């Protein structure tokens, strides 16, 4: 037997089993080291991605809080404008009533 097919992504040179059923431990050690290196790389990448995701989550929460605050300010401003418009209407009515009284007193 010249060797065993390699899984996808494994180094091309791997352990082989010879006719006398011995294993090429040097090639096996290279594969184990390559797997350990890939595992460390993926673990580091995972940690980086988790950190990035946590930052993004914090940013989203902050933006949502800002949106809630701005919406509240908008609602408060709308109420205040409505109150001012109502007050202007009352003042207009008072002015018209006062002008009518003046016209009645003159005439």
> pTM for the full model?
0.54
Reduce the DSSP state of residue 5 to 3 states and report it: coil
Q: What is the pLDDT of residues 13-67, one digit of tens each?
A: 555 555 666 778 889 999 999 999 999 999 999 999 999 999 999 999 999 999 9
The residue behind tokens 């294993």 is 23
Alpha carbons 107 and 97: distance in angstroms, whole number = 15
pLDDT at 29: 94
């Amino acid at each position: 037997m010249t060797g065993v097919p390699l899984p996808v992504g494994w180094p091309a040179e791997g352990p082989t089993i010879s006719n006398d059923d011995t294993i090429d431990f040097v090639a096996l050690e290279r594969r184990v080291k390559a797997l350990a290196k890939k595992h460390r790389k993926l673990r580091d990448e995972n940690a980086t991605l988790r950190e990035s995701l946590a930052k993004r989550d914090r940013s989203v929460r902050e933006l949502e809080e800002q949106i809630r605050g701005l919406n509240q300010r908008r609602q408060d401003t709308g109420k205040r404008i409505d109150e001012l418009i109502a007050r202007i209407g009352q003042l207009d009515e008072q002015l018209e009533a006062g002008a009518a009284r003046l016209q009645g007193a003159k005439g």
